[in-house]
Amino acid sequence: MRALVPVLTVVAAILALWYLAAIWLNADWARDQAQRAGADLPFSELVSQTLSQERPKLPAPHQVAQEFHKLTWEEETEGRRGFVKSGSFSNRGLIHHALATLTATAFGFVIGSGFGILLAVGIVHNRAMDLSVMPWAIASQTVPIVAIAPMIIVVLNSVGVAGLIPKAIIAAYLSFFPVVVGMVKGLRSPDAMQTDLLRTWNASGFQALMRLRLPSSVPFLFASLKVGIAAALVGTIVAELPVGGAGLGTRLLAGSYYGQTIQIWATLIAAALLALLMVGAVGLVQRLTLKRMGFRA
Amino acid sequence: MKDTLSLAEPVIEAEGLNLIFQAADGPVQALRDVSLTIRKGEFVSFIGPSGCGKTTFLRCIAALEKPSSGRLTVNGLSPEAARQSRAYGYVFQAAGLYPWRTIAGNIRLPLEIMGFSRADQAERVQRVLELVDLQGFGKKFPWQLSGGMQQRASIARALAFDADILLMDEPFGALDEIVRDRLNEELLKLWAATGKTVGFVTHSIPEAVYLSTRIVVMSPRPGRITDVIESPFGRERPLEIRDSPEFLAIANRVREGLRAGHIDE
């Protein structure tokens, strides 16, 4: 309860700034319209017009909220292709597209983090990999994803791989990196005393990995997974931009073709909620796991 | 008592041991010409200021450091071979228990690594838990135990695979005086009950004199042995011996030895 006041204050401040920005950005068009009609435009009229345009430069929060509500609840309960009438989510609604994005993101995230963990184990145990892998991993992340994603999509499409897999690969491409960085640090986190102790028992490298290094790296892993899953979502959305079918990225591009700014913003809200949900899920698993493992989280 | 000990077979033999570290600002002689024989059943303490090589010597015995020159054998074997034959258990200053394992799970760790059978593991864990007076705590997690109990668990872990030698590097250094006194008493009982050979590094003069059959005084730069003091006390050592004139005489001699080492710097 004590956190409620500061949280609400921040939300109110953001909404206020948003409204001010919407008035400011949309005013030109409203004035233009008034001039052409030869009408007067008093300030109160200006404000109400800027907040109710059909294709504003920046939609007002209540417009976005209405659109979001329309594309989720109304579409599924009342729409012809909605869940209530057809038994499946409407392809005009956001839920259908969000689910497609969620699936590809989750799939890519699993591949990416698995690959990241394997790479980190290799880096920690093999000197050649230690010296050679990291520069490539860093280089891979400096390539702009918007440049490389369409190429991967097109190349895979030409060999007949389409749909979920190409999107998941882009998601994995972005999500493996934080996992590698975090896991290398985590696997190296046991101190000299711990490794000396294992040496006095003649433990093999594999035994040390399984019994000490991997368990010690779990707190680091979860911190990386949170970054990784958000990155995977960005990767999936970018990968969806150039292709048709379902997905929040596809919806974003369609919205921008037709200048449907309100729809774009509603889709962005859906993407943000999706990210919140996924990071929250990782956070929940993190809390339960670390508590169970006796780490002070 | 003294006589039977000096007749017992040698377990650790060091002769003319030198160890030189290459530090950033040139070589550092961590050990110079260290020669010492530790016999079966002895309790030998190493005392001296930091940098005197007492820990380094213990680490050499455990094959965690490699001497630059000289001869060192453990049970007649090289330190590496001795480690492979599970000759010693090592106890560090920090208990170093894994927070994700129970106390029993932590004690089982070396047994799993060494490949003991499951039934054997369980039986050994039970036995050493009793030995360090922690029966009933096997299912607890490390954070549920006090620092002193955690250190007892780490001693149990070192005892679990029946090593004849116990190497302890300031095991009670991080504990408060009262806990330390009690653990010293318990360690003596344990030593009497098991007949292990103990190498014990410490900063504390009373601790060294109370526990040891022999006290090795060392001094730094280069790390070397400056005095070896035989204790007149037998295996039975009630806490009261600490007020006896013999005890104070030995403590004094250790103090003199430490002071002498400091003066010739």
* Full-model pTM: 0.85
DSSP A78: H
Of A147 and B262, the structure prediction assigns the larger pLDDT to A147
pLDDT bucket at B12, cuts 50 / 70 / 90: very high
As a whole-number percent, the residues of chain B with pLDDT over 70 amount to 95
Q: What is the mean pLDDT of chain B?
A: 90
pLDDT along chain A (297 residues), means of 10: 89 96 93 88 89 92 95 90 86 92 96 97 94 91 88 88 90 96 96 94 94 96 96 94 86 89 95 96 95 77
Tell me, what's the pLDDT at B1? 45
Domain boundaries, chain B: 2-87+164-263, 97-162
The reported pLDDT for the residue numbered A281 is: 96
Instruction: Tell me the pLDDT tens digit for each residue of B115-159.
Output: 999 999 999 999 999 988 899 999 999 999 999 999 999 999 999
Q: Which residue of B has its CA nearest to A295?
A: B99
Question: Rounded to whole angstroms, how far apart are CA atoms B81 and B59?
Answer: 15
Q: What is the pLDDT of residue B4?
A: 52
State residue B257's pLDDT score: 87
| Each residue's pLDDT tens digit, B15-46 | 999 999 888 888 889 999 999 999 999 999 99
CB contact under 8 A, B83 and A202: yes
Quick one: fold of B2-87+164-263? Rossmann fold (3.40.50)
Cβ contact A201–B114 (<8 Å): yes
CB-closest option in B94, B100, B114 to A293: B100
> What pLDDT is attached to residue B173?
87
The three state secondary structure string of chain B is: CHHHHHHCCEEEEEEEEEEEEEECCEEEEEEEEEEEEEECCCEEEEECCCCCCHHHHHHHHCCCCCCCEEEEEECCECHHHHHHCCCEEEECCCCCCCCCCCHHHHHHHHHHHHCCCHHHHHHHHHHHHHHCCCCCCCCCCHHHCCHHHHHHHHHHHHHCCCCCEEEEECCCCCCCHHHHHHHHHHHHHHHHHHCCEEEEEECCHHHHHHHCCEEEEEECCCCEEEEEEECCCCCCCCHHHHHCHHHHHHHHHHHHHHHHHHHCC
> Which residues from chain A sit within 8 angstroms of residue B94, using beta carbons?
193
Alpha carbon of B98: minimum distance to chain A alpha carbons (Å)? 8
In tens, the pLDDT along B84-97 reads 999 999 999 999 99
ipTM: 0.88
Does B112 contact A211 at a Cβ distance shorter than 8 Å? yes
pLDDT in tens, B213-252: 999 999 988 899 999 999 888 888 888 888 899 999 999 9
Report the SS3 class of residue A189: coil
User: Is the pLDDT reported for residue B262 higher than 80?
Assistant: no
Q: Say yes or no to pLDDT of B7 above 80.
A: no
Q: What is the pLDDT of residues B172-197, one digit of tens each?
A: 988 888 888 888 998 999 999 889 99
User: How far does the CA of residue A110 sit from the closest CA of chain B (Å)?
Assistant: 25
Instruction: Give contacts of A203 with chain B, Cβ < 8 Å.
Output: 113
- Partners of B93 on chain A (C-beta within 8 Å) are 193
Contact status of A212 with chain B (Cβ, < 8 Å):
yes
